[in-house]
Structure 1
């Protein structure tokens, strides 16, 4: 959940973790409970990661980078598409006809988003934001992931202050549901 380092190192490590999870998903036999467990694990990681970015990274992008509002809005639009796919997958079983199609679409969207951040957004942050700010953001992102929701909530706000107020409560409810159902173990 927390890797350490500045915000770029933290989020890049998350990206590697998610990419590895997608590889494990691809190795699991189609239609099996293992694929559903892998999608649940991917969902948990992506939702926590996205919530932390929405609470801390994108406000910093808006504040510190030239063209920051447009960059942040583009990233938030990416998140909205991914979150809807996660919600669609949450409602499917691994043997449902469209489960694998949705999973492939999710993988494509997530990979494109990660590549865009790593090749465009992160270099701009490295060049345009003081290292102290990047370190501070890394710590804030790690803290946000601890209380973030673990399930997709496409209708919830994705910008501060509303997302910072609602996310911990949603996270608490999600973790309680996960505990009761055994999801994410």
Structure 2
């Protein structure tokens, strides 16, 4: 068991080292102006992918955009948990801690539903209903983030010049390294979640090669998102 675990960890570390090289090469690319911009951009993309699935009756189209939705939501969620929620706690004290814990609970519920959805096929009669159920929870969560959480964070970050922009850049880089499928058992708190991500991300990203995505692409490139 230890041997298997060690081998998996070595593979994860090799994978991470290769991604760090990609990060260095991508450092010339301008980051989002603020962390709120980065989060909101992801929200709009998720909404677009969701609509592509529910407004189509073509199973191939639904599968491609369902995979894209899963890919983006899984990475977005973990990125928030590793970068944004710790910032709530660091810069907003007790209020920030309460916000982060509330959001983590909401994330866990969404990740449980996403795990169910990601294992379904479009010909399953529950495919679209399950996605709509997930979206109902996710949309409410995103609206609360955009209306309440992110404005409060940006106000708190005004005292730390450049921190919001730095967080946006780190958020984008973090999404390159995290799993692209839902793993609720990893939890929502680092460092355990970080360790699980190192182990599961390479497996997820390899499996993505064999999944269908929009525009006939073979696995989206995390370094461009």
TM over 0.5: yes
Structure-to-structure mapping, 1:126-165, within 5 angstroms: 126-129=154-157, 130-165=160-195
Q: Does 1:18 align with 2:46?
A: yes
- CA distances 1:7-62 after superposition (whole Å, capped 9, x unpaired): 111111111111111121222116x2321221111010001111110111001111
| CA displacement at 1:74 relative to structure 2 | 0.8
Q: Which residue of 1 aligns with 2:15?
A: none
Larger displacement relative to structure 2 (17-26 or 74-83): 17-26
- State how far apart, in whole Å, the 2-side matches of 1:92 and 1:182 are: 13
Structure-to-structure mapping, 1:1-185, within 5 angstroms: 4-29=32-57, 32-66=59-93, 67-129=95-157, 130-179=160-209, 181-184=210-213, 185=217
Aligned partners of 2:33 and 2:165 also within 8 Å: yes
Calculate the TM-score normalised by the size of structure 1: 0.91
How many residues are aligned here? Answer: 182
| CA displacement at 1:131 relative to structure 2 | 4.1
- CA distances 1:74-128 after superposition (whole Å, capped 9, x unpaired): 1111111111111111222212232221111111111111101000001101111
Identify if the C-alpha distance between structure 1 residues 36 and 182 changes in structure 2 by more than 3 Å, giving closer, same or farther: closer
Aligned partners of 2:53 and 2:128 also within 8 Å: no
Larger displacement relative to structure 2 (2-11 or 16-25): 2-11
Larger radius of gyration: 2
Identify if the C-alpha distance between structure 1 residues 65 and 45 changes in structure 2 by more than 3 Å, giving closer, same or farther: same
- State how far apart, in whole Å, the 2-side matches of 1:76 and 1:177 are: 27
- CA RMSD in angstroms comes to 1.7
Identify if the C-alpha distance between structure 1 residues 27 and 131 changes in structure 2 by more than 3 Å, giving closer, same or farther: farther
Calculate the TM-score normalised by the size of structure 2: 0.76
Structure 2 runs not aligned, ≥5 long:
1-28, 218-225
Q: SS where residue 65 of structure 1 aligns?
A: helix
Q: SS where residue 111 of structure 1 aligns?
A: helix
